[in-house]
């Protein structure tokens, strides 16, 4: 039995960052956090204070905030302002989208300055830089990862989950080859099976951003392999929320 199955929830950022996520969906995410104790939970900025409030009695579940999401095209000033707002709200971690257009334009210093400004504004909170790899070549992925490390990012993250192409094991290996152990790696977008998670972990991935339905399906896979029986499901999460 793979020993990682016992603690798989502790590498998961459960995420409610789609356009149509409602407060009721946030309540279901909270219910899932109470059941599985994921390491962190993310919502869009309008619901981040509510998420923080609902998780206040779960000290082992962090709350994260998104910055420049999903395009990365906000000005640096707006990204810094968002980071400061997340600090005020009580966020424990921040996931920011890099300036993808600047990276593709070869404006590496602009990308680095943008990330560094957010890292400084985050005041010591971990910042995960989202490359949005679906729009990048392998060379751009390598450059983006190296820039993120130079700028002080704690993690290099594959994507927002909004792009049509999923994160892949190839991408994780590519990022790992570029940054080594200089920063951690987070995968997000299209991670929908336990075997995919385990393969990505083998390739060097340390954290996963996964939506409610997909992570409940994965946790069911975990329970089946560990011979654990529980009554929690998406349906019970709906009835338990308020």
**The predicted structure's pLDDT at residue 239:** 39
> What is the tally of structural domains in the chain?
1
Is 1 among the domain residues? no
Is 120 among the domain residues? yes
**The predicted structure's pLDDT at residue 1:** 62
**The predicted structure's pLDDT at residue 233:** 78
Is 3 among the domain residues? no
Q: Is 95 a catalytic residue?
A: yes
Helix (H, G, I), strand (E, B) or coil at 128: strand
Torsion of CA 222, 228, 232, 233, to 10 degrees: 40
Is 5 among the domain residues? no
Token couple for 227: 């011979």
Pair type for strands 155-157 and 12-16: unpaired
Low-confidence residues of the chain: pLDDT under 70: 1, 236-242
**The predicted structure's pLDDT at residue 240:** 41
CB 39 within 8 A of CB 9: yes
Distance CA(92)–CA(43), nearest Å, equals: 13
Is 234 among the domain residues? yes
Report residue 62: phi and psi, to 5°: -80, 165
Catalytic residue among 95, 114, 125, 128: 95
Is 2 among the domain residues? no
The CATH number assigned to the domain holding 94 equals: 3.20.20.70
Catalytic residue among 52, 62, 79, 157: 157
Distances (CA, A) of 150 to 77, 104, 108, 116, 189: 20, 18, 11, 8, 25
Beta strand extents in the chain (DSSP E only): 12-16, 40-43, 62-67, 93-97, 127-130, 155-157, 184-188, 207-211
CB 72 within 8 A of CB 45: no
Q: Of the candidates 105, 142, 149, which has an alpha carbon nearest to the alpha carbon of residue 127?
A: 149
**The model's pTM:** 0.95
Q: Is 128 a catalytic residue?
A: no
Q: Residue 229's CB: how many other CB atoms inside 10 A?
A: 7
Is 216 among the domain residues? yes
Catalytic residue among 62, 125, 128, 186: 186
List pLDDT tens digits, range 195-224.
Answer: 999 999 999 999 999 999 999 999 999 999
Which residue range is the domain that position 217 belongs to?
Answer: 10-240
Q: Is 176 a catalytic residue?
A: no
Residue 228 burial (10 A CB sphere; 0-12, 13-18, 19+) = exposed
Count of helix runs (H) and strand runs (E) in the chain: 10, 8
**The predicted structure's pLDDT at residue 236:** 64
């Amino acid at each position: 039995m793979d020993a990682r199955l016992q603690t798989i929830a502790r590498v998961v950022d459960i995420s409610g960052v789609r356009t149509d996520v409602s407060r009721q969906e946030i309540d279901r995410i909270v219910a899932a956090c109470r059941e599985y104790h994921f390491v962190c939970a993310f919502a869009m900025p309008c619901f981040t204070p509510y998420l923080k409030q609902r998780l206040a009695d779960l000290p082992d579940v962090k709350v994260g905030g998104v910055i420049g999401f999903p395009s990365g095209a906000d000005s640096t000033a707006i990204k810094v302002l968002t980071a400061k707002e997340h600090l005020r709200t009580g966020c424990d971690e921040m996931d920011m989208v890099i300036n993808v257009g600047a990276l593709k334009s070869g404006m590496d210093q602009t990308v680095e300055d943008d990330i560094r400004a957010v890292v400084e504004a985050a005041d010591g909170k971990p910042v995960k830089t989202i490359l949005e790899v679906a729009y990048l070549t392998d060379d751009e992925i390598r450059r983006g990862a190296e820039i993120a490390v130079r700028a002080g990012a704690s993690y290099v993250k594959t994507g927002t989950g909004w792009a049509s192409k999923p994160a892949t094991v190839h991408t994780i290996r590519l990022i790992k080859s570029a940054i080594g152990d200089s920063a951690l790696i987070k995968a997000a977008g299209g991670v929908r099976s336990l075997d995919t998670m385990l393969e990505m972990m083998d390739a060097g991935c340390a954290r996963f951003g996964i939506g409610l339905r997909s992570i409940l399906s994965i946790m069911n896979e975990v329970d089946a392999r560990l011979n654990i029986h529980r009554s929690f499901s998406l349906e019970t999460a709906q009835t338990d929320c308020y």
